[in-house]
Amino acid sequence: MTNKLSIALAHHPVQNKNGDIITSAVTNLDVHDLARVARTYGLDAVYVVTPLEDQMRLIGRLVAHWVTGHGAVYNPKRREALERVQIVESLAAVREAVTRRCGAAPKMVATAAHPPGAVIDYAELRHLLTDGTPYVLVFGTAWGLSPSFMQTADHVLAPIQGPGPYNHLSVRAAAAIILDRLLGERD
């Protein structure tokens, strides 16, 4: 099942603090952390989305260091995680890549700290993940995914909420919690 779920980390189209649509810079540790979480929960693919060619090259070199370079020998567990990272130029390219890999177009599930409209909860998404369709969980960087992408997503996942109203997790922490809620042991 889990090989039909992928995650995408979007650096475009995302919002800045003022709600403008921007392209954010890729954070090295985001790539490592999301790849390690994906490996832990059995996902085959982590798509790092940026349209900037120099960022694509930079992240490509970083990943290659751990997958085929010195890092692969120094820390094979890091290789196991990072070998599932793919760098693509857009969320449309994520959809195409998943369609090629899985033989069917994926449903796109947006995540947001403050979703503008209706959401599905974790139990609902756990249930959907058993239906055989490929799904992509999309995480935004900076101040979150653009409203226009949110509107075109097939689903928006409920935000992670603690006991109070505060909701300002890093994308690294949010992705870890969400994958654990969807795929981790329930006790």
**Residue 184 sits in the site that holds its own copies (CB under 8 A):** yes
Site string for its own copies, 77-106 (x = CB under 8 A): xx-xx-------------------------
Beta carbon of residue 65, minimum distance to its own copies (angstroms, whole number): 17
Instruction: Give dist(CA 160, CA 139) in Å, integer.
Output: 13
- Contact stretch for its own copies (CB under 8 A) within 5-13, 46-54, 59-67, 158-166: 158-166
**Residue 177 sits in the site that holds its own copies (CB under 8 A):** yes
Instruction: Give dist(CA 8, CA 14) in Å, integer.
Output: 13
Site for its own copies in 33-72 (CB under 8 A): 33, 36-37, 39-42
Contacts with its own copies, residue ranges (CB under 8 A): 2, 29, 32-33, 36-37, 39-42, 77-78, 80-81, 121-123, 160-164, 166-170, 172-177, 180-181, 183-185, 187
